[in-house]
Structure 1
């Protein structure tokens, strides 16, 4: 068996996953790397210092987050070019998955620096593995916009998606999020809410979007903590087939209008559901593309 790569003579940037809740999920290799690198770039040094204390890691910490400017990125890359080993961590889970790190990793690679992933916890994968939803194909959509109008605009193009959809959401927006998902995907669409994964109050609850919304609304505790929302993709077998006249009308509308506008006007003309027309229009675009 090949021995795991740990800091040595060749400088490298280690992308290190950390626990999302239970500290027992910290892998030994991650501890070893964090103990032996020259510097750790952390999303929040105060938050990460608790993890360092628990595992007796004395390596210096420096802040690196979404608001870090290019000078900070260049400073870290220069350290790597000078022969130092660096580790990148986020507050929890795998860095770069809805967390900062993309610019640093890209700059390091462009500078010819080796980038080494240290696998570990990832909330979206953990949630998906326990959801019971199809996991052979999925789409991670990250955090949705905080405002309703922008959120609906992001959700609408996903209504016809056949893959399982995975979202992160903040606790104070979870009710509005589920409501907007129900309005866009249909209240009867199957979904799973995973909350506080690997923590004391871990909850994984499945049902329709309507049922999940009611569940969250009825219990204030379900509006606390870190959340992953997973929505089953559109069942292709259940798609509505347009008759020749409806297809002709939609084809004409799509020549000069967006999919959203054509679906809305098409629904008014034909009496068919806007969602079905929207889905049909997307499929036509895919076939032509």
Structure 2
């Protein structure tokens, strides 16, 4: 019997996992003993959080992160090939989206294994649904370039697409959030809408959509070192 690949959701850092992960999903996660994870320590911590008696010592883990060589993916199929149901786990949110796990998921499909996504929190979709911007036509652009000139050029490109009615979603490494906001303020037209969604699902969650003009008048929030999603768009 072939193993199945379960795509495991984890929290976005919020203290109460029951707020974002359904009970039935937790039952499936707890039943697994084979895992492919971005970081073993945080994966073990999550498993012990949802079940203090989880048998860590009876479980096996493989690491899949941004440093993993594509040729190593074949070896990661071993759990599935031996018939074991296996969980793929990201550092935060859902695997396979803005996450190196997508390569493994494709490999599983190519090898004929069943892939089963489990319901959980996605900062990208939670930000979009609460932004008020176009949720029917949108694009996720991941991280913007690090070099300022390249980043400003990309922000201008995203604005062009946003003016055509397609909401543009992107993110930044948390410690560079405020620098990104400076570039956004200096680059975007005043009538473009910008949604800032930070620390989603946390007690201090912040989600607000305003025109750039209004942001400049009222000031940006201090989201330094806080995980955030940014969306630009126009009124539908």
Normalising by the residue count of structure 2, what TM-score does the alignment of the two structures yield? 0.85
Question: Following the alignment from structure 1 to structure 2, what is the Cα–Cα distance between the partners of residues 70 and 175?
Answer: 34
* Residue matched to 2:202: 199
* Residue matched to 1:272: none
Q: CA deviation at 1:89?
A: 0.8
Which of residues 30, 40, 63 in structure 1 aligns to 2:25?
30
* Residue matched to 1:19: 11
Question: Following the alignment from structure 1 to structure 2, what is the Cα–Cα distance between the partners of residues 70 and 190?
Answer: 39
User: Which segments of 5 or more consecutive residues in structure 2 lack a partner in the other structure?
Assistant: none
Which of residues 205, 209, 215 in structure 1 aligns to 2:219?
215
* Residue matched to 2:116: 116
* In the alignment, structure 1 residue 157 sits paired with structure 2 residue 157: yes
Q: Which has the larger radius of gyration?
A: 1
3-state SS of 1:200 partner: coil
Q: Looking at both structures, which has the greater relative contact order when contacts are Cα pairs under 8 Å and sequence separation is at least 6? A: 2
* In the alignment, structure 1 residue 52 sits paired with structure 2 residue 52: no
User: Which segments of 5 or more consecutive residues in structure 1 lack a partner in the other structure?
Assistant: 1-8, 236-289
Q: CA deviation at 1:97?
A: 1.3
* Residue matched to 1:39: 34
Contact 2:134 2:167 in 1 (8 A): yes
Q: CA deviation at 1:62?
A: 2.6
Question: Following the alignment from structure 2 to structure 1, what is the Cα–Cα distance between the partners of residues 206 and 159?
Answer: 26
Q: CA deviation at 1:71?
A: 4.8
Query: What is the alpha-carbon root mean square deviation over aligned residues?
Result: 2.2
Contact 1:65 1:100 in 2 (8 A): yes
Which of residues 142, 148, 173 in structure 2 aligns to 1:170?
173
| CA separation of 1:151 and 1:175: change in aligned 2, threshold 3 A | same
Q: CA deviation at 1:116?
A: 1.1
Contact 1:34 1:40 in 2 (8 A): no
Question: Following the alignment from structure 1 to structure 2, what is the Cα–Cα distance between the partners of residues 71 and 50?
Answer: 28
Q: List aligned pairs for 1:80-99, cutoff 5 A.
A: 80-99=80-99
Greater than 4 Å deviation, 4+ residue runs: none
Structure (1 or 2) with the greater helix fraction: 1
3-state SS of 2:223 partner: helix
Contact 2:108 2:114 in 1 (8 A): yes
* In the alignment, structure 1 residue 189 sits paired with structure 2 residue 184: no
* Residue matched to 1:102: 102
Question: Following the alignment from structure 2 to structure 1, what is the Cα–Cα distance between the partners of residues 175 and 50?
Answer: 32
Q: CA deviation at 1:146?
A: 1.6
Contact 2:96 2:105 in 1 (8 A): no
Normalising by the residue count of structure 1, what TM-score does the alignment of the two structures yield? 0.71
